[in-house]
Structure 1
Amino acid sequence: MFKFNRSIISSAVLSIVMSALVVLSVVSGNAKMPLSSRNFYSIIGLIRSQLDNVPNTEENVIQTAVGSICTDELDDLLIRVYDSNEKRVKEMFLEDYIMGVVYAEMNLRNNIEALKAQAVAARSYTLYKFYNDGEGVNIHKDGAVICTDYTHCQAWKDPEGIIPAYGKETGQELYSKLKKAVESTKGIVMTYEGEVIKAMYFSSSGGYTESMEDVWYEKLAYLKSVPSYGELANDYYCNFAYFSKSDFAARFRKAYGDNFKAEPYNVLESITSIERSPTGRVKKITIGGVEMSGIAARSILGLRSTNMIFREFNKDTILVITIGTGHGVGMSQLGAITMADEGKTYDEILKHYYSGVELERELYTSIGLPSN
């Protein structure tokens, strides 16, 4: 699945050091290369394919300890998660972590097929981060590959809080439903051309999702704009935010300092250009002489989405109308719920929102050294 130089393991010795974490390395001659989360399974797969060619000598031994953690008997993966609320790193098994993500990201009363779709999307996103050594970990600590800040990675709540939150009878029912959704999809991820995908998702789209390149200027073939159904029924389809002109101007002046040239009396008129995506979301906008991304403007104003319309409500007030909630890329959670309620299965939901993907049960449940 992952590209790796075969020559480095032609006469490989694997060593294992057990401490707070398992540390693996590959040694070839006098050269030593750390075995990161990104290339772990690539190397294991290549070693597995070459086992018959590895001489049984002291210099070419796959140690029993390594084999024991790389066989099909390994049914979960330990990951490091930065808890943004508690400001500390927690070690969790992946499937336990996914339960917490689904609990935080979706109403557990929703159709279980929507919960399953959320579980697979969350697992795929997490393993994408894992394989890329915690992409974007500048706010993470101590080697965490992902965090619980939903604005940066994924929301997470301890599933142990379900029963206290809902009461014993309902809580046990919802906990069992959550557990079933995660366990029935255990190990399943989405792949595109053999690679685990960056499975973005969000709350609601307003009718169409966004292409990745229209939001973050990174083109990923599986993150294309597609229709999203059931959005009009959303209570938050259309949102209204009111700002005094002085507050509106002050927010941008705080962000951009003296580069921001508008005053409260003319701040609305200072919106001189807006570049929109085909679905209506703001890609770029110029306010007070400062060009910024739609994402930046949304963040400064604390809005639900970048599909923004600016209007004067009265002489002292600006009205900003937004459509949808979230960044708009990948799976719409509301759309997934609608599709599930209409009888679609979780795999049908995922293949609708992520173009050209395959669903595979893999990694820690299917890749490893043979037990014999």
Structure 2
Amino acid sequence: MRYKMTYIFLGLFLFFSIPYLITVFMAPKDEKREINFETYDSGYKIETDDGKSIDLESYLWMILPEQISLDYEEEALKAQTVILRTDIVRRMGDSKKIEEEKLPYKRISDKKLKEALGSKKYSLKDQARKRAVSDTLGKVIVYKNTYIEPFFHGLSVGTTLSGKEWFGEGYPYLQAKDSLEDVESRDYMSVTVLTYGEILEKIKESYKTDLTTDQLKSDLAISQATKNGYVKQVRAGNLKISGTVWAQWFSLASNNFYLEPYDGKMRIICLGQGNGLGMSQYGAHKMAEEGKDDQQILKYYYTGVKIRDINE
């Protein structure tokens, strides 16, 4: 009787445990993995001005908070990480290292990030930025086996800008893409009001000109722009000023703007954030909310590209 009960219990154990074991061993393995940033060696290095080297993957999570809002969905953060990795490796050329001063990125210290976010939020966002790197480890964007120049911007005007319309030639992966939810962002529009004196002062810092404020009032206009409003050139009297430079002069959110005389001054109405090229970060965030992953986001904003491992 005792042996009979043993067999019964053994049978019940196998009956309930075998399905579980089958599920565990046959389920696809999750390829995502956390990495130890203190010891990980990708083979790609960023050389700092104090003679130290930072591994590329560690450098990415250090610069990510300065490039995109950590409040965005993690798939958007991952897409941004792949963009940054691609750009840095592209700038390295045939080398596997680059001096930090040659990169247009800035690291943020843990101390400053914690001060900006607060201790509780910092803990969550610090893990999110590190997952963005770990989950995309070594992934880069290529077009016909060449690293793309991965332009990106904060917020489009509902449609991104095509490379052909902005540059004329090249950049076939930069096609105009709808990013319609961007226009619903609370940051979609910003307004700057300047006196003509302030504008003239800025012009004279860069140009030798006899232009007066009265002449500026009668002869200041946008002379060249794309069909969706990205300014290529501003005319001030006989001067032709790049729209990008104009936006930089007055700290505009983007170079998509128009000029409007207002109460004896000049009002600049600016739409979107950034240059309108490539991935819209806000658009990526909204796509992630809808369930799209980082690769789907990247392949939407960059036409005809492939996502591959850096060592392929």
The percent of aligned pairs where both chains have the same amino acid is 24
Counterpart of 2:296, as a letter, is E
Is 1:330 matched up with 2:278? yes
Is 1:225 matched up with 2:173? no
> For residues 227 and 154 of structure 1, do their structure 2 counterparts lie closer, same or farther at Cα, with a shift above 3 Å needed?
farther
Q: 1:191 aligns with which of 142, 167, 182?
A: 142
- Give the structure 2 partner of residue 107 of structure 1: 69
- Give the structure 1 partner of residue 218 of structure 2: 269
Which whole-Å CA distance do the structure 2 matches of 1:265 and 1:254 have between them? Answer: 18
Q: What does the per-residue CA deviation read over 1:147-171, in whole Å, with 9 as the maximum and x for residues that have no partner?
A: 56xxxx2343234644454344432
Which whole-Å CA distance do the structure 1 matches of 2:82 and 2:98 have between them? Answer: 24
Which whole-Å CA distance do the structure 2 matches of 1:162 and 1:305 have between them? Answer: 25
- Give the structure 2 partner of residue 95 of structure 1: 57
- Give the structure 1 partner of residue 9 of structure 2: none
Note the C-alpha offset of 1:322: 0.8
SS at match of 2:173: coil
Note the C-alpha offset of 1:344: 1.2
Note the C-alpha offset of 1:92: 1.1
Q: What does the per-residue CA deviation read over 1:53-98, in whole Å, with 9 as the maximum and x for residues that have no partner?
A: xxxxxxxxxxxxxxxxxxxxx851332356xxxx767521000111
Q: 1:211 aligns with which of 151, 162, 175?
A: 162
Note the C-alpha offset of 1:362: 2.7
Which whole-Å CA distance do the structure 2 matches of 1:132 and 1:323 have between them? Answer: 39
SS at match of 1:179: helix
Which whole-Å CA distance do the structure 2 matches of 1:170 and 1:313 have between them? Answer: 42
- Give the structure 2 partner of residue 255 of structure 1: 206
Q: 1:282 aligns with which of 231, 234, 244?
A: 231
Which whole-Å CA distance do the structure 1 matches of 2:274 and 2:195 have between them? Answer: 24
- Give the structure 1 partner of residue 42 of structure 2: 76
Which whole-Å CA distance do the structure 2 matches of 1:256 and 1:217 have between them? Answer: 27
> For residues 159 and 297 of structure 1, do their structure 2 counterparts lie closer, same or farther at Cα, with a shift above 3 Å needed?
same
Which whole-Å CA distance do the structure 2 matches of 1:284 and 1:98 have between them? Answer: 35
Which whole-Å CA distance do the structure 2 matches of 1:309 and 1:81 have between them? Answer: 42
Unaligned runs of 5+ in 1: 1-73, 135-141, 368-372
Note the C-alpha offset of 1:221: 0.8
Which region of structure 1 is more displaced relative to structure 2, 330-339 or 210-219?
210-219
TM-score between the two structures when normalised by the length of structure 1 = 0.67
Which whole-Å CA distance do the structure 1 matches of 2:144 and 2:107 have between them? Answer: 29
Note the C-alpha offset of 1:339: 1.0
- Give the structure 1 partner of residue 268 of structure 2: 320
Which whole-Å CA distance do the structure 1 matches of 2:149 and 2:189 have between them? Answer: 28
Which whole-Å CA distance do the structure 2 matches of 1:143 and 1:124 have between them? Answer: 13
> For residues 92 and 282 of structure 1, do their structure 2 counterparts lie closer, same or farther at Cα, with a shift above 3 Å needed?
same
Contact 1:201–1:330 (CA<8 Å) still a contact in 2?
yes
Higher helix share goes to which structure?
A: 2
- Give the structure 1 partner of residue 294 of structure 2: 346
Counterpart of 1:191, as a letter, is V
SS at match of 1:257: coil
Is 1:297 matched up with 2:246? yes
Contact 1:271–1:287 (CA<8 Å) still a contact in 2?
yes
> For residues 189 and 255 of structure 1, do their structure 2 counterparts lie closer, same or farther at Cα, with a shift above 3 Å needed?
same
Number of aligned residues? 273
Contact 1:308–1:322 (CA<8 Å) still a contact in 2?
yes
- Give the structure 1 partner of residue 129 of structure 2: 178
SS at match of 2:207: helix
SS at match of 2:217: coil
Counterpart of 1:98, as a letter, is L
Which whole-Å CA distance do the structure 2 matches of 1:154 and 1:215 have between them? Answer: 24
> For residues 165 and 291 of structure 1, do their structure 2 counterparts lie closer, same or farther at Cα, with a shift above 3 Å needed?
closer
Which whole-Å CA distance do the structure 1 matches of 2:94 and 2:216 have between them? Answer: 42
Contact 1:121–1:199 (CA<8 Å) still a contact in 2?
yes
CA RMSD of aligned residues (A): 2.5
Structure ID, larger Rg: 2
- Give the structure 1 partner of residue 14 of structure 2: none
Q: What does the per-residue CA deviation read over 1:6-29, in whole Å, with 9 as the maximum and x for residues that have no partner?
A: xxxxxxxxxxxxxxxxxxxxxxxx
SS at match of 2:218: coil
Contact 2:164–2:172 (CA<8 Å) still a contact in 1?
no
Note the C-alpha offset of 1:128: 0.9
Which whole-Å CA distance do the structure 2 matches of 1:200 and 1:155 have between them? Answer: 17
Contact 2:232–2:242 (CA<8 Å) still a contact in 1?
yes
